[in-house]
């Protein structure tokens, strides 16, 4: 299928209104933002929650409120983070999946130093538990790969049955502590994955546009949004997440491809939890 999936990551765990006043923070703001992105062509929303102070949280009730608001308005695929707070326990990183049954969730395939300030812990025991739990409740893992070692780690879990194929990868380029956002790195990572897999990629910060173009050229799916980038162009903040989605949509059409609808994305990714 010559369709390209646009994922929007509207919030993430870090940017605040001081970085960009348009970052959605509350469940209502996130739901309104996601609805606008769905109208602009996003098929998937990758969601993080914030507590009342604006810090990343795995609070189940925040997820529930947001998920319910979004589900009442549109059919966008929900991809919930399992890594919204570096201090969350293994249990709180999974509890919202078990209760809310999103169609997708992130699966970070290794531990790394995070932004030169902390440790992004994904212990082998946690990854086994998370992979098996996601299989049981039909939540498709989006394997987040910050460097090549994480790719090989995911392949180990595939062989072991902790993950089942075909896998879907999200290459995260330009995170401090991970692989830099260069086209060469993307080409290399893409060359590693088996043919039956699907993949998407994005660059953080200044690497955003080169990686967006290169991903489209290589036939991947794309991710945009303020989790990764609050600037639309040099010295110009994005007005909204939908502005990023609309640009990605224009680029997809310029290369004679089509934007995948949520249902087309479900088919491409083989999702199972349609009813939610
Ligand atoms: Zn995320």
Q: List the shell of residues around ion ligand 1, using CB closer than 5 Å.
A: 81
Q: What is the pLDDT of residue 275?
A: 56
Q: Give pLDDT < 70 ranges for the chain.
A: 1, 275-276
Cα 203–Cα 159–Cα 180 angle in degrees, nearest 5: 15
- The pLDDT tens digits of the residues spanning 102-131 come to 999 999 999 999 999 999 999 999 999 999
- CA 187–ligand 1 middle distance (angstroms): 22
- CA 180–ligand 1 middle distance (angstroms): 17
Fold of 3-267: TIM Barrel (3.20.20)
- Contact yes or no for 200/222 (Cβ under 8 A): yes
Q: With DSSP H G I counted as helix, E B as strand and the rest as coil, what are the percentages for the chain, rounded to 5?
A: 35, 20, 40
- The pLDDT tens digits of the residues spanning 184-218 come to 999 999 999 999 999 999 999 899 999 999 999 99
Q: What is the pLDDT of residue 47?
A: 98
- CA 244–ligand 1 middle distance (angstroms): 16
- CA 276–ligand 1 middle distance (angstroms): 20
Q: What is the pLDDT of residue 272?
A: 86
- Contact yes or no for 49/84 (Cβ under 8 A): yes
């Amino acid at each position: 299928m010559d369709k390209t999936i646009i994922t929007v990551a509207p919030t993430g765990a870090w940017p605040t209104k001081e970085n960009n006043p348009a970052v959605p923070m509350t469940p209502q703001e996130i739901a309104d933002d996601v609805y606008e992105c769905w109208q602009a062509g996003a098929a998937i929303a990758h969601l993080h929650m914030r507590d009342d102070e604006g810090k990343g949280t795995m609070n189940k009730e925040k997820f529930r409120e947001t998920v319910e608001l979004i589900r009442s308005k549109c059919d966008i695929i929900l991809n919930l983070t399992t890594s919204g707070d570096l201090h969350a326990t293994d249990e709180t990183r999974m509890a919202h999946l078990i209760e809310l049954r999103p169609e997708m969730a992130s699966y970070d395939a290794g531990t790394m130093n995070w932004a030169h300030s902390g440790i992004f812990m994904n212990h082998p025991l946690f990854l086994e538990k998370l992979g098996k739990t996601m299989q049981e409740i039909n939540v498709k893992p989006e394997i987040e790969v910050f460097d090549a070692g994480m790719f090989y780690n995911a392949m180990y879990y595939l062989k072991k049955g902790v993950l089942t194929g075909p896998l879907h990868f999200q290459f995260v380029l330009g995170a401090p502590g991970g692989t830099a956002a260069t086209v060469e790195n993307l080409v290399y990572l893409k060359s590693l994955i088996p043919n039956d897999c699907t993949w998407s990629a994005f660059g953080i910060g200044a690497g955003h546009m080169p990686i967006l173009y290169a991903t489209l050229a290589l036939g991947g799916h794309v991710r945009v949004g303020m989790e990764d980038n609050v600037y639309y162009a040099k010295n110009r903040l994005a007005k909204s997440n939908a502005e990023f989605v609309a640009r990605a949509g224009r680029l997809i059409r310029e290369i004679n491809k089509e934007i995948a609808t949520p249902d087309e994305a479900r088919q491409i990714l083989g999702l199972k939890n349609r009813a939610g």
